[in-house]
Amino acid sequence: MELTTIWFILIAVLWTGYFVLEGFDFGVGMLFPVLGRGEGGADDPDNDGETRRRVMLSTIGPVWDGNEVWLLTAGGATFAAFPEWYATLFSGFYLPLLLILVSLIVRALAFDYRGKVDDPTWRARWDLAIVVGSFVPALLWGVAFTNIVRGVPIDVDGEYTGSLFTLLNPAALLGGLATVSLFTAYGAMFLALKTDGPIRHQARELSLRVGVVATVLVAVWLVVIHASTGSIESWVLTGVAAVLLVAALGQVRRGSEGWGFALTFGAIAIAVVSLFVALFPDVMPSTTDPAFSLTATNASSTAYTLRIMTWVAVLLTPVVLLYQSWTYWIFRRRVSGHHIPTKVAVAARSHRPADRAEIDT
């Protein structure tokens, strides 16, 4: 197998890892206005709005930044292995990718800063940032990948000749709606798996309702893509992904959140793989003229560069996988409102042991 093919497969694996891990992060963030509401107080933490939102954040707090490493690695690998693909993609899709980047930055700031000031208005604004910072990437990744697989106008020099409105075509917008609904259902399943109490049951019920819509949208979206670019292999993978989504909803309906989440994980992974199978050997098809398409061969780096990258990947990838698996294992337990501290930690102002303030953790 040629090194260009190997690196195309590795980049597909990186994007698959990103979507199956970051997907539920986006879903949890988008569900803030729905599952983060409550009427309780200090005596009923499971129904207090602020406590519920902190529970939701606690489920993804230890892992969200590690999940985003897959995106950084995918971008870096594309730049090093396929510089022509990277140049055309990031110049032609500049505005959507910029919006994604800004959204991810704002969302990261919101995770860290919402608890810095004990003020409801302050927290509400950062909560809005979390919702928007989760929704925008979930939408635009669907738009971007639809255009990448179906093709965009590229000239003989490998330059994108369309505009922003070229990318916002009906098929791409369908892809955006499909990924938003799928990640929302995925996030609800993750919350049902990782929480306990009322929020767990509400998340499970919500995952069923949104999951039905997501299954329909994703099925139609994949059919639209593969109808023009798909192969027999990609159609088979699409069918498997659809079956797994339906099976996931059945497991959640039976109360088995673990199997429901695992099957959705598999469905998303296979759906992303089907997109790359439909794309290969191209990396960016040209709708102007098929001869202008960027392929894994004409867009790649030199063989020497690919050989060095392969050795680096062989040495470091197992370390990354082991570390991230360990992180998920350590933070595997469920979280409920009773695990959230009700008092804000206060630094001691006196050096005398008898007068020191007690710090709640």
pLDDT digits (tens, 9 = 90+) for 272-313: 999 999 999 999 999 999 999 999 999 999 999 999 999 988
pLDDT value, residue 334? 84
pLDDT value, residue 339? 63
Q: How far is CA 155 from CA 30, 92, 152, 160, 284, in A?
A: 38, 12, 10, 7, 12
Residue 313 falls inside a structural domain: no
Domain of 45? 3-306+325-355
Residue type, 266: G
Residue 249 falls inside a structural domain: yes
Q: Token pair of 22, please?
A: 């970051």
> pLDDT tens digits for 158-183?
899 988 899 999 999 999 999 999 99
285 CB contacts (<8 Å, ≥6 apart)? 149, 150, 151, 152, 229, 279, 293, 294
Distance separating alpha carbons of residues 50 and 107, to the nearest angstrom: 18
CATH number (domain holding residue 300): 1.20.1630.10
Residue 86 falls inside a structural domain: yes
β-bridge partners, 294: 284
Omega within 30 of 0 (cis) for the link into 281: yes
Q: What is the pTM of this model?
A: 0.89
Q: What total number of domains does the chain contain?
A: 1
Q: Which residues of the chain have pLDDT under 50?
A: 344-361
Residue 314 falls inside a structural domain: no
Residue type, 203: A
pLDDT value, residue 316? 85
